[in-house]
Amino acid sequence: MEKVDTSQSPDGAQAPDKFFSASLPGRTHASDVDVDGSKIAYWTYEPVSATAATRTILVIHGFRGDHHGLLRVADQLPEMRIIMPDLPAFGSSEPFVGDEHSVERYGRFISSFMAGVGLGPKTVLLGHSFGSIVASHFAAAHPGSIYPLILVNPIAAPALEGPKGIMTKLAVLYYQLSARLPRPLGLAVLRNRAIVRIMSITMAKTKDKNLRRFIHAQHDAYFSAFADRNSLLESFKASVSGNVAEVAERLALPVLLIAGEKDEIATLPNQHKLMKRLPDGTLEVIPDVGHLIHYETPAPAAAAIRTFLEEHPA
C-alpha cells in the first residue's frame, strides 16, 4: 500500500498551518490497531480541557478521503475528544482481508474498531458524505451502540437516480475502466492531478482565494491515498449504491443533519425529505457552502454539533 507524505500536515510535527489553531498539534496522538486482520491507523484529538460537556466523537470520513478532511471541524471542538480512523483501504489503513469494501462491511468495521479501542455506547458517531451512509446504516443495524448520530453533507437520496444519475453512471465507468487498465496506466488515470483539480474546483464554493488554494492542496495531497484499484472500485460502488434514506425510519435515536445550502451532491431538497423521515431529526443548513462543509465552514458546523450535544447529553 502506498503512503502519502504528511510532512506538511497539521497533525505532524510541523508548525500549525494558518487554517488550524496552535493548540491542535498538542491534542494529537497517532496510533494504530489491528481490526479483523487489517492494520488501521487512527488519530485521537484529546480535549484541551475536559469539562462536563466533553464527549467522545468517532468520525467516519468520506470516499477517497482520510482523517485529514475533518481536521478543521475537530480543531473547532477543543473541548471534545475526537477519534478519527483512516477507513480501511484509505489513507494509512490497510484494506479488508478477503472481504468486499461494502457499506455493510464498513459497518462491521465500526463495531470491531470500537471494541478494539474501547469505545462504548455513549460514543457520538459522526459521518461525512459516504461516511454518512456507513454511519447511518451502522446505527440502524446496532441500536443502542452509539448516541447520538451526526451526519455532515449526508447522502440523502440514491445517487444513480434523478438528474445526477447519468453523471454517477459515467463515474462508475471511470472507476471500472481504471481498474481494468494495466496497473501503471490505471493508477495514472485515478491519480491524474487535472481530474482531481476539476473535482476540487467544482465542489468548492468559497470566494476566499487562500481557502480555495488550501482546499485544492488538501485534495492534491490526500485524495489519491488509496490502497489499490479494486478496493477503490468496491468502495465507490458502495458510495453510490447506498444512502441514508434507506434506513431513516430505523434510526431510533436523535440525528443531526448538517447540510450545505449549495450542495450539488447531497442537495438541500433531499435533505428536507430525509428530515421528514427521521423519527427524531434536526436539520441545520449552512448558507453559501456546498459539499465541503468540513473545509469551508468548520466553525458553524462545530457550533451546530456543540448545541446538538448539549441538547442530547449522554
> In b/e form, how buried is each residue of 201-230, taking b as 16+ CB within 10 angstroms?
eebbbbeeeeebebbbebbebbbbbbbbbe
Q: Give the separation between CA 250 and CA 235, rounded to whole angstroms.
A: 24
Mean pLDDT of the 63-76 span: 96
Which are the contacts of 211, defined by CB distance < 8 A and separation ≥ 6? 19, 295, 296
Residue 10: pLDDT above 70? no
C-alpha cell at 145: 451502540
Give, as one character, the DSSP assignment of residue 121.
T
Mind listing the pLDDT tens digit for each residue in 171-201? 778 888 888 888 888 888 888 888 889 889 9
Mind listing the pLDDT tens digit for each residue in 120-169? 999 999 999 999 999 999 999 999 999 999 999 999 987 655 556 666 77
Mind listing the pLDDT tens digit for each residue in 39-63? 999 999 999 998 989 999 999 999 9
Can you name the residues that pair with 152 across neighbouring β-strands?
128, 258
Amino acid at 10: P
- Residue 281, SS3? strand
C-alpha cell at 179: 481498474
Per-residue pLDDT, 14: 38
Per-residue pLDDT, 175: 83
Could you list the beta-strand ranges (E) of 71-165: 81-85, 124-128, 149-152
Residue 4: pLDDT above 80? no
How would you class 141 by CB atoms within 10 Å of its CB: exposed for 0-12, middle for 13-18, buried for 19 or more? middle
Residue 34: pLDDT above 90? yes
Mean pLDDT of the 30-42 span: 97
Nearest to 257 by CA among 241, 246, 271: 271
Cis amide bond preceding 148, omega within 30:
yes
Mind listing the pLDDT tens digit for each residue in 206-262? 999 999 999 999 999 999 899 999 999 999 999 988 999 999 999 999 999 999 999
Mind listing the pLDDT tens digit for each residue in 92-115? 999 999 999 999 999 999 999 999
Mean pLDDT of the 255-283 span: 96
